[in-house]
């Protein structure tokens, strides 16, 4: 039983019904099964009151919100407790910390933030921790992954970092299964909305920083300040001084681990990087020793990702040499500079969907390409026309052929996305090398249509179901590639 009178006294305004209740769980979404649960009634495009009936039908025994008219719902639901509070966000944090306290005491939590690389770093850290005997789950863009890298079913309500109540349920499940650690992606939006504030963070990892999500943050300062909330919460900070904005993390007065490809004084310093289609090699200086490192991951950006994971594992007491040996066996992640050879063409599937990530992806692809390099670069309508233009501005003459496409457009007309990208093309990119397509599917077809055996096709962007005018259209790049080649092509069998 939870005594809500004592817990919520600092935020309490009014209520109806008993305030000592057998609360087991929480949710912000009325459609989620929530037996003996609390429904946090939060208004968005529609009033939160519109969802009370459904929330109660799904098991809620208590509804908490800030709208005084919420008490009017007691007539329809006399057996339910309704509580009016002054601020919902700290109430959510307080209740989650109270109910799931034992999980927090017995588990360790690693948060990963940054503009690019969050998913790869989360995967690297969680997989390596599992291999060294720490039962670890992960949460992020790839979903919720168990210790054996299997997806776990859950009520997904956001693209990357779940809402706080859903995230707490995941932690509770991991705790019940004797997990020792959890690694999670902490997006700037989630940090700003305090979705992760209830989690006691043992280590905060900062990958890199560049302009993004201006449709939400509006200013680069707000974007950075949101990222820094992870530094405020974490006990230990892992970052690269190669990202100038993160150098101030050393002033937080907390233990730090640094990684770098530029600063030899960093705890984990990499140099002499080479890579080909089989992976990357570099020299690592760490813990007073020199190590020759191989990883199946390709590109300089992935060396940064790996070094951040090394820093976390080392802080857990694992010797550097052991980490180096295990990292060599770490399989690449799907859609993160993933290489496929189909019908004598090399395809590279890369999630790069920010200007900084695109620049790195194009550079790595150019070094690998023997023949012509054909690149699909898409503008994301949901992220705003300003970002669409910046994606096009990143292109360089080093690409032999470019297909400009529109993806995840929402209610933005694809033609507007394409026009914005065309207008933003750098002067050095010849327009006769550029073609356009109105969707990701059409852009892939255009790339293949321009290719010949021996060419490299780089498919950047979000290889997921596509948001189009209120509809979610199924999509998978590999399926589209398969559909464009004859079944007689032997390589297709390996894609199924």
Q: Could you tell me which of 100, 165, 102, 175 has the C-alpha nearest to residue 137? A: 175
Number of Cα atoms under 13 Å in the Cβ half of residue 439: 16
pLDDT at 155 over 80: no
- Could you give the residue ranges of the DSSP H alpha helices within 383-476? 385-393, 414-424, 440-450
Q: Could you tell me which of 393, 447, 342 has the C-alpha nearest to residue 211? A: 393
Q: What is the CA radius of gyration of the chain?
A: 24
Q: Could you tell me which of 466, 488, 461, 492 has the C-alpha nearest to residue 479? A: 492
pLDDT at 489 over 80: no
Residue 278: the pLDDT is 94
pLDDT at 492 over 60: no
Between 94 and 44, where is the model more confident?
94
Residue 329: the pLDDT is 96
- Could you give the residue ranges of the DSSP H alpha helices within 3-60? 4-7, 52-57
Of the pLDDT bands very low, low, confident and very high (cuts 50, 70, 90), residue 27 is very high
pLDDT at 488 over 60: no
pLDDT at 58 over 90: yes
C-alpha dihedral sign at 339, 345, 350, 352: positive
- What is the chain's percent helix, strand, coil content, to nearest 5? 40, 25, 35
C-alpha dihedral sign at 11, 17, 21, 24: negative
Of the pLDDT bands very low, low, confident and very high (cuts 50, 70, 90), residue 494 is low
Q: Could you tell me which of 236, 189, 199, 231 has the C-alpha nearest to residue 109? A: 199
Which whole number is the average pLDDT over 315-319? 96
Phi, psi for residue 385 in degrees, rounded to 5: -65, -30
In the block, tokens 């002033």 appear at: 251
pLDDT at 449 over 50: yes
Alpha-carbon torsion angle 139, 143, 149, 151, nearest 10: 130
Of the pLDDT bands very low, low, confident and very high (cuts 50, 70, 90), residue 496 is very low
Using an 8 Å Cβ cutoff, are 489 and 471 in contact? no
92 exposed, middle or buried (CB, 10 Å; 0-12, 13-18, 19+)?
A: buried
Of the ranges 154-163, 178-187, 428-437, 441-450, which one carries the lowest mean pLDDT score?
154-163
pLDDT one-digit tens code per residue, 264-277:
999 999 999 999 99
Using an 8 Å Cβ cutoff, are 308 and 314 in contact? no
Q: Three-class SS of residue 112? A: strand
Residue 89 vs residues 1, 12, 28, 65, 71: alpha-carbon distances, Å = 22, 13, 11, 10, 19
Which whole number is the average pLDDT over 323-342? 94
Residue-averaged pLDDT of the chain = 93
pLDDT at 491 over 80: no
Using an 8 Å Cβ cutoff, are 456 and 373 in contact? yes
Q: Could you tell me which of 80, 89, 83 has the C-alpha nearest to residue 58? A: 80
Residue 216: the pLDDT is 87
The alpha carbon of residue 406 and the mean position of all alpha carbons in its chain are separated, in whole angstroms, by 21
Which whole number is the average pLDDT over 415-430? 94
Which whole number is the average pLDDT over 276-296? 97
Which whole number is the average pLDDT over 219-230? 95
Which whole number is the average pLDDT over 443-456? 96
């Amino acid at each position: 039983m939870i005594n809500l009178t004592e817990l919520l006294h600092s935020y309490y305004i009014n209520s109806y019904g008993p305030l000592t209740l057998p609360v087991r769980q929480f949710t912000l979404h009325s459609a989620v099964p929530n037996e003996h649960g609390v429904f946090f009634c939060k208004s968005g495009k529609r009033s939160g009151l519109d969802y009370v009936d459904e929330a109660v039908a799904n098991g809620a025994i208590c509804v908490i919100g800030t709208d005084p008219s919420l008490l009017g719902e007691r007539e329809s639901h006399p057996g339910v407790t309704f509580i009016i509070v002054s601020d919902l966000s700290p109430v959510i944090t307080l209740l989650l910390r109270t109910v799931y306290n034992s999980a927090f005491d017995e588990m360790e939590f690693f948060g990963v933030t940054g503009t690019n690389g969050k998913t790869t770093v989360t995967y690297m850290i969680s997989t390596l921790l599992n291999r060294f005997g720490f039962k670890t789950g992960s949460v992020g863009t790839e979903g919720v992954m168990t210790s054996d890298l299997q997806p776990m079913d859950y009520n997904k309500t956001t693209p990357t970092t779940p809402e706080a109540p859903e995230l707490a349920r995941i932690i509770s499940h991991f705790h019940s299964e004797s997990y020792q650690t959890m690694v999670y992606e902490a997006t700037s939006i989630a940090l700003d909305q305090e979705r992760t504030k209830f989690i006691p963070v043992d280590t905060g990892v900062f990958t890199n920083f560049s302009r993004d999500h201006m449709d939400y943050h509006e200013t680069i300062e707000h974007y950075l300040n949101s990222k820094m909330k992870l530094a405020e919460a974490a006990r230990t900070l892992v970052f690269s001084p190669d990202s100038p904005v993160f150098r101030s993390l050393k002033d937080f007065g907390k233990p730090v681990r640094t990684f770098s490809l530029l600063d030899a004084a960093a705890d984990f310093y990499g140099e002499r990087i080479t890579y080909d289609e089989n992976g990357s090699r570099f020299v690592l200086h760490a813990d007073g020793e020199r190590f020759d490192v191989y990883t199946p991951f390709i590109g300089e950006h992935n060396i940064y990702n790996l070094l951040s994971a090394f820093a976390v594992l080392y802080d857990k007491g694992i010797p550097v040499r052991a980490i180096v040996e295990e990292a060599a066996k770490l399989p690449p992640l799907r859609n993160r500079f993933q290489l496929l050879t189909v019908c004598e063409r090399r395809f590279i599937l890369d999630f790069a969907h920010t200007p900084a990530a695109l620049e790195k992806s194009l550079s790595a692809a150019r070094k690998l390409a023997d023949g012509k390099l054909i690149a699909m670069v898409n503008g994301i309508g949901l992220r705003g026309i300003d970002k669409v233009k910046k994606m096009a501005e990143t292109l360089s003459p080093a690409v032999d052929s470019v297909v400009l496409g529109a993806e995840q457009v929402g209610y933005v007309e694809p033609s507007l996305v394409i026009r914005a990208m065309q207008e933003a093309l750098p002067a050095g990119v010849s327009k006769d090398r550029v073609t356009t397509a109105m969707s990701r599917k059409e852009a892939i077809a255009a790339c293949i249509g321009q290719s010949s055996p021996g060419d490299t096709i780089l498919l950047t962007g979000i290889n997921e179901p596509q948001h189009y005018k209120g509809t979610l259209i199924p999509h998978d790049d590999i399926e589209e590639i398969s559909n464009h080649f004859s079944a007689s092509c032997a390589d297709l069998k390996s894609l199924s």
